[in-house]
Structure 1
Amino acid sequence: MQVVNAEFAKPKADLVDPNPWGYVLLACETDPDSVATDPDGAEGVSVRGGPESVSDLRAGLYGRIGPIRDALLRLTGVRAVSVFEAVLFAPGSPDRYPPHGSGGRRARFDTVVMIETRSPADLDALQSAPAFGELLDAMHTKSVATEVITMTNVKKIADVDRHRPGVFLYNFFFAQVPQRLLRIWDHTAGWWQAVGQLRNSELLVPTSPRDTAYAIVNSARWDTIRPALDAFRDPGYSDFVLVNIDANKASTMPSLYRWVQ
């Protein structure tokens, strides 16, 4: 592992034991051109909860997802189902390194659905449930691209509370050598703790790496959008975070989301 530009470094992230849950992340591109691509453009974005959207296409999708979400929550083994709408495709390095394997595309997902199960052993039953198939159909119908990733938690700063409104980070990574990215994350997450007021984060890895081009997905939450926007504007973000991800042969594609339901 290589750490560069140490003058911007902060203490490594303070970590606790990871969660034992299983995770299924469903992400889709419905109307990505309606999402801000500059931190200044996201400054005044409302992050209150609810299915209302600046995009009629996404609002229609959330109307379909609502009853399906209720059905999923009734399944044995499901502990949480949360829906998120993108408010910013943040600065990253999506084209610096290609995906490990084939079929990868730049992460411009304007809707994310995160399903948590009580254990990874519950993931297969969840994906066999009719309600899960209905969710996939709804997302496919409204979208130009859809991604489904089953994951487990390998590193954690603290639990990400997905049960109430807030600002959520979903950061998708390509990596030529995922283990190098896992190691450098301790340093870049430490920078986010110090500069971006990051108080929680769950680092998730695919259970079947061959089924997705994304090596890692990072999830985090803030009460308001300002700390994350200020971090993206800070010189250390490009001169330390992005440079070190690049030096370890990985690409980062972060986006900020609001909680829908």
Structure 2
Amino acid sequence: MSTDPRTQTNPPAPYVEPAPYGYLYLGFRVDPPRRIPFVPRSSRRREVLQRCQDLARRLAAMDEVLSARAYRAIAIQPSEVSPRFDVIVLIETSTPETLAAVQATPEFQQLNADFIMPARNIRRLGDIDRAPTGTFLFNHFTADDYDRALRYFDSVAGWFDHDAKVDDIALLGPIEDAPYVFVNQVRLPGTLAAFILALLRPNFRHSVHDVMVANRVGFASIICKPV
């Protein structure tokens, strides 16, 4: 099945070789907002974040783990396919083959995540800077047809590079069965306000949103800060 012709409106994305690492994407529904996109403060979430931060630090000290970072959500896109995670942990391992060993550790099991997705990197733009500053976007994609969804992503990734000036993108594809065909991690350039303004431009709807609808791809974003 071919991709809708409206996917041919963006410049090609300047991809680089996918990273050879393994990833564990963890989601927690601690105290997510029910009616508004912005995530209010929560003492319960603060406690969970502290526990995740402590366990992530211990995991990062392991030989198989390259990095482990906890994130707090600051906004959750209202969407039928939204996972509504208000806490996220992303663990990067030396290879996909080491994921099972990390998952078997007491530290990982103590995280007690609501959602776990072992993954590998299938598309990459630049190198994700995971320094403890900045703002990150985790996009969750759903689709009935994986190949069609990936063609959709390839067709719109150039818009984010060219129009939104995003140059750090890592597309994570699940290794096991998952409700998402992939999850995309983006480090936002500049301020969150500037990125939102880019999304309000008319060409975003034509070049990205309408393409998504035409290709029957669901989409839900969570905006986060590292802790």
TM-score by length of structure 1 reads 0.79
Equivalent-residue separation in structure 2 for 1:188 and 1:88 (angstroms): 23
Among candidates 186, 199, 213, match of residue 167 of structure 2: 199
| Structure 2 equivalent of residue 214 of structure 1 | 180
- Greater shift, 165-174 or 225-234, is seen at 225-234
Note if 1:235 corresponds to 2:222: no
- 90, 115, 130: which one aligns with 1:147: 115
> 2:49 corresponds to which letter in structure 1?
Y
Which amino acid in structure 2 is aligned with residue 127 of structure 1? Answer: Q
Of 236-245 and 188-197, more deviation after overlay is shown by: 236-245
**Equivalent position amino acid for 2:64 in 1:** G
User: How far is 1:5 from its partner?
Assistant: 7.6
Of 81, 85, 88, 1:112 maps to 88
Q: Unpaired runs of 5+ in structure 1? A: 43-52, 96-104, 140-145
1:200-219 CA-partner distances (Å, limit 9, x unpaired): 101110001x2x11111001
CA distance in structure 2 between the partners assigned to 1:125 and 1:247 by the alignment: 41
Amino acid at match of 1:114: L
**Residue 54 (structure 2) aligns with:** 67
Runs in 1 of length 4+ with deviation above 3 angstroms? Answer: none
SS in 2 for 1:13: coil
RMSD: 2.1
Deviations 1:184-242 (A, max 9, x none): 2122111111221101101110001x2x1111100110242123211232223333312
CA contact (8 A) 1:160 1:201 kept: yes
Are 1:124 and 2:100 counterparts? yes
Aligned to 1:57: 44
> Could you tell me which of 151, 174, 178 is aligned with 2:146?
178
Check whether the contact 2:49–2:72 (CA below 8 A) recurs between aligned residues: no
Query: Contact 1:155–1:202 at 8 Å: present in 2 too?
Result: yes
2:5 maps to a residue whose letter is V
The 3-state SS of whatever aligns with 1:80 is: strand
CA distance in 1, matches of 2:195, 2:25: 22
Matched, 1:81 2:59: no
Match of 1:168 in 2: 136
The residue type paired with residue 86 of structure 2 is: D
Q: Please list every run of 5 or more consecutive structure 2 residues that lacks an aligned counterpart in the other structure.
A: none
- The alignment covers a number of residue pairs equal to 224
Higher relative contact order (CA 8 A, sep 6+): 1
Q: Which amino acid counterpart does residue 228 of structure 1 have in structure 2?
A: F
- Residue identity in the other structure for 1:4: R
Per-residue deviation, 1:35: 9.0
Counterparts of 1:36 and 1:18 in 2: how far apart (Å)?
Answer: 36
1-structure distance, mates of 2:15, 2:126 = 8
2:156 corresponds in structure 1 to: 188
2-structure distance, mates of 1:3, 1:227: 29
The one-letter code of the counterpart of 2:171 is: L
Number of the residue aligned with 1:224: 191
8 A Cα contact 2:53 2:70, kept in partner: no
Aligned partners of 2:72, 2:225: CA distance in 1, in Å? 5
